[in-house]
């Protein structure tokens, strides 16, 4: 088991992708472990910021990688970092 409380915080981006009707895109995660096979885990596009990337560049890269969406516009951002601890 990973001791999540000992992991350092990592700079990441998260994206809320909305369509013109206000519907939010969420993706069904592919189970990584055998025990997760019957679990339904949903997630919005997100991921780490690579060295030399700005948060905006990382957001565009992650959006394209995880959804294949390349035509969108940024309508809002937050001005401060959010922190969270990974659950066990």
Q: What is the pLDDT of residues 18-57, one digit of tens each?
A: 999 999 999 988 777 666 666 778 899 999 999 999 999 9
- In angstroms, the CA 72 to CA 5 distance is 36
pTM exceeds 0.85 for this model: no
CATH number of the domain residue 26 falls in? 3.90.79.10
Report the domain count for the chain: 1
**Does any domain span residue 53?**
yes
The domain of 54 spans 4-67
64-87 pLDDT, tens digit per residue, is 999 999 999 999 999 999 988 877
Closest of 1, 13, 10 to residue 55, by C-alpha: 13
Task: Establish if 29 belongs to a structural domain.
Answer: yes
Q: Which of 79, 80, 72 is nearest to 15 (CA)?
A: 72
The helix or strand, by DSSP H or E, that contains position 48, with its residue range, turns out to be strand 46-48
Sign of CA pseudo-dihedral 13, 19, 22, 25: negative
């Amino acid at each position: 088991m990973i001791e999540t409380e000992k992991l350092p915080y990592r700079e990441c981006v998260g994206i809320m992708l909305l369509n013109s009707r206000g519907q939010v895109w969420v993706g069904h995660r592919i189970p990584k472990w055998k025990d997760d096979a019957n679990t339904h885990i949903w997630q919005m596009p997100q991921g780490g910021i690579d060295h030399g990337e700005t948060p905006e560049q990382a957001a565009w890269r992650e959006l394209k990688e995880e959804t294949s969406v390349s035509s969108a516009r940024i309508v809002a951002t937050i001005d401060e970092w959010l922190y969270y601890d990974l659950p066990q």
